Amino acid sequence: MLTVHDLPTLNAVLNGTAAVLLGIGYALIRNGKREAHKRVMLTAFCTSILFLISYVTYHAQIGSKHYTGPIPAVYFTILISHTLLAVTVPVLAIMTLRRAVKGDFARHRKLAKWTWPIWMYVSVTGVIVYLMLYQF
Q: What DSSP string describes 101-133?
A: HTT-HHHHHHHHHHHHHHHHHHHHHHHHHHIII
Q: 27-64 pLDDT, tens per residue?
A: 999 999 999 999 999 999 999 999 999 999 999 999 99
The rounded distance, in Å, linking the Cα atoms of 84 and 107 is: 24
| CATH of the domain spanning 4-135, picked from 1.20.120.80, 3.40.50.300, 3.40.50.10680, 3.40.50.2000 | 1.20.120.80
Neighbour count for residue 68 (Cβ, 10 Å): 9
Residues of the chain below pLDDT 50: none
Q: Write down the domain spans for the chain.
A: 4-135
Taking CA 15 as the corner, what is the angle to CA 97 and CA 3, rounded to the nearest 5 degrees?
120
Answering whether pTM is above 0.85, one says: yes
What per-residue confidence (pLDDT) applies to 136?
79
Give 54's contacts (C-beta < 8 A, 6+ positions apart).
Answer: 7, 10, 11, 14
The dihedrals phi and psi of 92, each to the nearest 5 degrees, come to -60, -45
What per-residue confidence (pLDDT) applies to 14?
98
What per-residue confidence (pLDDT) applies to 118?
98
Closest to 26 in 3D by CA, of 116, 136, 118: 116
Task: Kindly tell me the burial class for residue 40, based on how many C-beta atoms sit within 10 Å of its own C-beta (0-12, 13-18, 19 or more).
Answer: buried
What per-residue confidence (pLDDT) applies to 134?
94
